Amino acid sequence: MDFCRPLCWVEHMSLDNETGLDPSGIRVRPVSGLVAADYFAPGYFVWAVLIANLANIGYEEKNMYMAAYDWRLSFQNTEVRDQTLSRIKSNIELMVATNGGKKAVIIPHSMGVLYFLHFMKWVEAPAPMGGGGGPDWCAKHIKAVMNIGGPFLGVPKAVAGLFSAEAKDVAVARAITPGFLDHDLFPHQTLQHLMRMTRTWDSTMSMIPKGGDTIWGGLDWSPEECHSPSRKRQIANDTQIANENGSEVVVSQIKHVNYGRVISFGKDVVDAPSSEIERIDFRDAFKGQSVANSTCSEVWTEYHEMGYGGIKAVAEFKAYTAGLIIDLLHFVAPKMMARGDAHFSYGIAENLDNPEYQHYKYWSNPLETTLPTAPDMEIYSLYGVGLPTERAYVYKLTSAECGIPFQIDTSADDEDSCLKDGVYSVDGDETVPVLSAGFMCAKGWRGKTRFNPSGIRTYIREYDHSPPANLLEGRGTLSGNHVDIMGNFALIEDIIRVAAGATGEDLGGNQVYSDIFKWSEKINLQL
């Protein structure tokens, strides 16, 4: 298996479409140890810079553990197949016991943030569903959780990936060089191969936006409306957050944007008042005959089973908010979502004491679970800002008989509303919007709330993106990019100080450049 034989690679990286586990005769496993994620490729660091800096203050393999896991699997299935959650529990217990009882500092990145959120519920839940550690396990073993680039509430980018196997970069590449995706990498039908593979990865469904319209907005509103990520900067600390008159804010008001319409079919739909959009409900539409003919059988996707009727019904509904995205994905990918429904949930809990929320499918959704009872623990949201980040999409219907029937419409542009190449952008780290990375620490968990009953202290530390001044500066020294931030000097300093014993107050509390507190106030969530 190698990159010279991409279809072989796809076959080995795919999971079983029914079970979400190993296909027959294929076993792919994560590498263990610190080498599991120090470099993605020679010269391209991920954790290497941080590991080296931790080593400089005395950390080594006996008190530093890389919790590698198979990121393709649903979180609970990593325990079913590999006992990964049990291994993390044992390693943390061993490190705490052999280091004089000093509690662990946990540093998850990206999807690992959701994975560790799941772990904190799993480790205290009774066996056999949980790890049986008891209700005070986290309080005894964890000093701080320093989440880097955490997609706590999901990412719109995941919707585009599951819906059409593309995001902004793929859509632009296809527009600039038609045919590139069909010839340069795979012999034919590149995106169908990618869709077939990624739709077997149950973990991708953990990234679907959570909280529905309450968090992400409806047809006519969104928390971030009227702000351009490239035209505003705000410096705020705890004192200034409490007294907004003391903060320095420079904001350019721009055209109203309906970010709440995560998917719109046609630029005219994006701009139209909701009262003028004629929508035909797709949910009971007849899916009709297969659109696939004999030449399409090489690559199976669930779109082949929808028929022209089902495809047309999706486009005729015209506008989809975050709440409706769940129904849309159930309609276009029922087999995938049937597996996903067993492992993930995307709502907001009305009553967290309801016994149903003891099931593992809720544990990675911060709106349907509670933080552990650990009042001395700290939780950080560390993430980049100042980069355009995908938030909503303009789609079009395609006529390709064998292709994926929906594409991002790269002809849709509007400089005044952050619309470029069919993609609406907001402030973030190019992958996770500020709203997803920051809301829980800004409001959902801030103080004692029903999601944070013991009042764990939360801190937001934002890092304003600056590109390298020259080639010698290094990839991430001042970067806010989702991956390059792992080499950001300011982020590394914050982590090193906490790993050496500092608290959030020692760091100076919150460090905020975005409008996350203002946006959070617009979200009407029962706390």
* Cis-peptide into 128, omega within 30 deg: yes
Cβ-contact 281, 317 below 8 angstroms: yes
Amino acid identity for residue 275 in this structure: S
For residue 279, give the nearest of 219, 214, 212 by alpha carbon: 219
Say which residues have a Cβ less than 8 Å from residue 503's Cβ, sequence separation at least 6.
Answer: 378
Amino acid identity for residue 395 in this structure: Y
Q: What is the DSSP letter of 253?
A: B
In which region does residue 165 sit, left (phi positive, over 0), alpha (psi from -120 to 50) or beta (all else)?
left
Say which residues have a Cβ less than 8 Å from residue 174's Cβ, sequence separation at least 6.
Answer: 166, 180, 181, 407, 410
Task: Say what the pLDDT of residue 231 is.
Answer: 46
For residue 234, give the nearest of 468, 445, 485, 519 by alpha carbon: 519
Sign of CA pseudo-dihedral 372, 51, 73, 31: negative
- On whether the 6-154+356-386+432-522 domain is CATH 3.40.50.1820, my answer is yes
Stretch (H or E) spanning 82: helix 75-82
pLDDT digits (tens, 9 = 90+) for 359-413: 999 999 999 999 999 999 999 999 999 999 999 999 999 876 667 889 999 999 9
For residue 477, give the nearest of 495, 43, 485, 40 by alpha carbon: 485
Cβ-contact 407, 171 below 8 angstroms: yes
The two three-digit tokens of residue 311, written as one number: 């495809």
Task: Say what the pLDDT of residue 291 is.
Answer: 54
The two three-digit tokens of residue 331, written as one number: 């309609």
CA dist 22 and 490 (Å) reads: 41
Q: Strand 142-148's sheet: what is its strand order?
A: 104-106, 142-148, 378-385, 457-464
CA dist 189 and 76 (Å) reads: 32
C-alpha distances in Å from residue 375, one per residue of 142, 235, 378, 455: 11, 28, 8, 6
pTM: 0.90
Cβ-contact 147, 187 below 8 angstroms: no
Amino acid identity for residue 31 in this structure: V
* Domain residue extents for the chain: 6-154+356-386+432-522, 209-231+253-354+388-427
Task: Say what the pLDDT of residue 244 is.
Answer: 42
pLDDT digits (tens, 9 = 90+) for 9-51: 888 888 888 888 888 999 999 888 877 777 777 777 888 889 8
Cβ-contact 118, 81 below 8 angstroms: no
Three-state secondary-structure class, residue 210: coil
CA dist 95 and 138 (Å) reads: 14
Say which residues have a Cβ less than 8 Å from residue 263's Cβ, sequence separation at least 6.
Answer: 159, 163, 319, 320, 325, 328, 392, 393, 395
The two three-digit tokens of residue 348, written as one number: 């907001």
**Residue numbers in the chain where pLDDT is lower than 70:** 1-4, 168-189, 226-255, 288-301, 400-402, 472-473
SS (H, E, C) 379-409: EEEEEEECEEEEEEEEEEECCCCCCCCEEEC
Return the active site residues: 110, 429, 482
Task: Say what the pLDDT of residue 357 is.
Answer: 96
Task: Say what the pLDDT of residue 186 is.
Answer: 44
Measured in degrees and rounded to the nearest 5, phi and psi for residue 484 equal: -60, -20
